[in-house]
């Protein structure tokens, strides 16, 4: 129901629009699913695309995971734009179920329902499961791989099963690069498990992970002539000035600053994972697997911090650290369970006195504390949903405006780098030319004029499009026809060609 009230034709940010363009091309050209054709002028490709596409020879590549758009394409083919959201929703459900199963595998005393509720209400998983992103899918695959790995270590599974689990970690890494660090963190922390897997088993899992990455590596080397895919190759090298500056910026943005891009601000319940709990104080034996879970969370988070290409933008929470929430969810649920158990038990008897049951107020305290935490977490989830819905509704109005002001097949020229991503649902029926400045705009308009395009549309913004529009038209035969503005400030300028040359 939450997903059905969101407009499917537009997105919270530019990334999902890029993925939709890539997915639709994968449907149109399954033999070359990653090679996106450039917009054409007079039958010739023109390299005027936004910065999320890499121009390579006569085509472009989306600077995103190659796998996610390809596996999403069949859902879009069958269900239309709504089909784009099926895989993220399935990823969300898989992440929730696998995390609860993992908690139960490590210690049967854990409540699967408690883990499910904490993961659903206390992490950003829901936000990413409602948008056309690969984050929830990567989280689901990685959580399943982790649970299977723990189960395999308990049952002394054979090499074939460990290899397959490693392949799952590799698939998660193909979806999201930071999942590679999560898989490595699991393998490194494996000796902390109660039933320690042998080094041979760990090595077999690592081999499966590496083998899953080989096809992409071969394609990258053969097609680009370099070892790293383009969307990873741009990461600054360690110890460079830019790299050090980015680490400081990432740490400040993710863990110090407040706002929706903070690791803690959007999921305060996760802080319970780091609460110190003396066993004698809470009573009962500590839940098993805690050192392993904490090591996986901290090690994977540290590796992401060291390698993140940027801060991930103002999304809901730190999307690059989404996988770290999985083990931390179980640890936070442990704390909640211990607190409820301690506060709900009988008073300790003083010397020589009989233990007395807790008062009504004492029994109400744990339930009140849990209710407050649940209500606060639910309010944060409501805020995240409202942020997502508000952004998608705003962009939906822009898409409706662009659709009304541009005819199918028409050339659309804009200097707004985000516009074709926001209007990605129209990208297969319009030709978007994204320019960096007035010089490029004048070149595109001139080439369209020379190709005898009878009508074109310019999309500009009064603030974000500096300089007069006349500079764009100086070398062309186009004349002004009409201008219309949208409620969001976007301006559509219709031009017609009126000369014989």
Share of the chain above pLDDT 70, in %: 90
Domain ranges of the chain: 3-64+391-497, 84-343
142 vs 324: CA distance, rounded Å: 11
Tell me what pLDDT residue 348 has.
47
pLDDT score at 346: 47
Residues of the chain with pLDDT under 70: 233-241, 276-285, 342-367, 370, 500-501
pLDDT at 276: 66
Query: What is the reported pLDDT for 280?
Result: 42
Which uninterrupted H or E stretch holds 383?
helix 360-405
pLDDT at 243: 83
In whole angstroms, what is the distance from residue 280 CA to residue 479 CA? 82
Query: pTM score, two decimals?
Result: 0.91
Enumerate residues 6+ apart whose C-beta is below 8 A from 95. Answer: 119, 125, 129, 136, 139, 140, 143, 326
Tokens 């179920």 found at? 97
pLDDT tens digits, 3-29 = 888 999 999 988 999 999 999 999 999
pLDDT of 128: 96
DSSP code of 235? Answer: S
- Name the residue among 94, 121, 89 with its Cα closest to residue 4: 89
Q: What's residue 286's pLDDT? A: 72
pLDDT of residue 363: 57
């Amino acid at each position: 129901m939450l997903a059905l009230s969101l407009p499917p034709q537009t997105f919270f940010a530019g990334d999902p629009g890029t993925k939709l363009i890539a997915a639709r091309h994968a449907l149109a050209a399954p033999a070359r699913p990653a090679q996106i054709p450039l917009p054409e002028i007079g039958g010739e490709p023109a390299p005027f695309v936004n910065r999320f596409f890499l121009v390579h020879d006569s085509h472009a590549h989306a600077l995103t995971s190659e796998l996610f758009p390809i596996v999403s394409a069949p859902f879009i083919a069958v269900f239309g734009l709504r089909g784009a959201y099926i895989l993220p929703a399935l990823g969300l459900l898989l992440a929730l179920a696998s995390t609860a199963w993992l908690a139960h595998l490590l210690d049967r005393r854990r409540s699967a329902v408690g883990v499910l509720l904490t993961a659903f209400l206390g992490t950003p998983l829901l936000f990413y499961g409602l948008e056309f992103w690969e984050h929830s899918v990567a989280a689901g695959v990685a959580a399943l791989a982790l649970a299977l790995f723990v189960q395999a270590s308990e049952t002394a599974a054979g090499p074939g099963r460990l290899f397959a689990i490693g392949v799952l970690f590799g698939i998660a890494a193909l979806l999201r690069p930071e999942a590679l660090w999560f898989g490595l963190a699991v393998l490194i922390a494996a000796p902390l498990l109660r039933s320690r897997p042998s080094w041979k088993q760990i090595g077999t899992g690592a081999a499966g992970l590496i083998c899953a990455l080989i096809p992409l590596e071969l394609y990258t080397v053969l097609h680009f002539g370099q070892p790293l895919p383009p969307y990873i190759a741009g990461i600054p090298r360690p110890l460079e000035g830019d790299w050090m500056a980015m680490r400081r910026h990432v740490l400040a943005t993710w863990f110090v600053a407040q706002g929706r891009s903070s690791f803690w601000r959007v999921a305060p319940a996760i802080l319970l994972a780091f609460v110190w709990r003396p066993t004698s104080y809470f009573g009962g034996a500590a839940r098993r697997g805690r050192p392993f879970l904490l090591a996986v969370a901290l090690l994977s988070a540290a590796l992401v911090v060291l390698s993140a290409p940027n801060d991930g933008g103002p999304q809901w929470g730190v999307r690059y650290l989404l996988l770290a929430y999985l083990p931390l969810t179980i640890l936070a649920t442990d704390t909640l369970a211990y607190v409820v158990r301690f506060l709900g038990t009988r008073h300790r008897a003083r010397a020589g006195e009989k233990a007395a049951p807790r008062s009504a107020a004492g029994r109400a305290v744990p339930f009140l504390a849990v209710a407050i935490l649940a209500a606060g977490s639910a309010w944060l989830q409501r805020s995240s949903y409202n942020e997502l819905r508000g952004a998608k509704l705003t962009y939906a109005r822009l898409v409706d405006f662009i659709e009304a002001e541009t005819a199918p097949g028409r050339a659309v020229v804009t200097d707004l780098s985000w516009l074709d991503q926001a209007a990605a649902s129209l990208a297969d029926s319009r030709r978007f030319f994204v320019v960096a400045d007035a010089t490029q705009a004048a070149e595109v308009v001139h080439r369209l004029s020379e190709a005898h395009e009878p009508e074109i549309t310019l999309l500009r913004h009064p603030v974000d499009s500096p300089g007069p529009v006349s500079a764009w038209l100086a070398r062309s035969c186009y004349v002004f026809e009409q201008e219309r503005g949208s409620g969001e400030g976007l301006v559509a300028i219709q031009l017609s060609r009126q000369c014989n040359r």
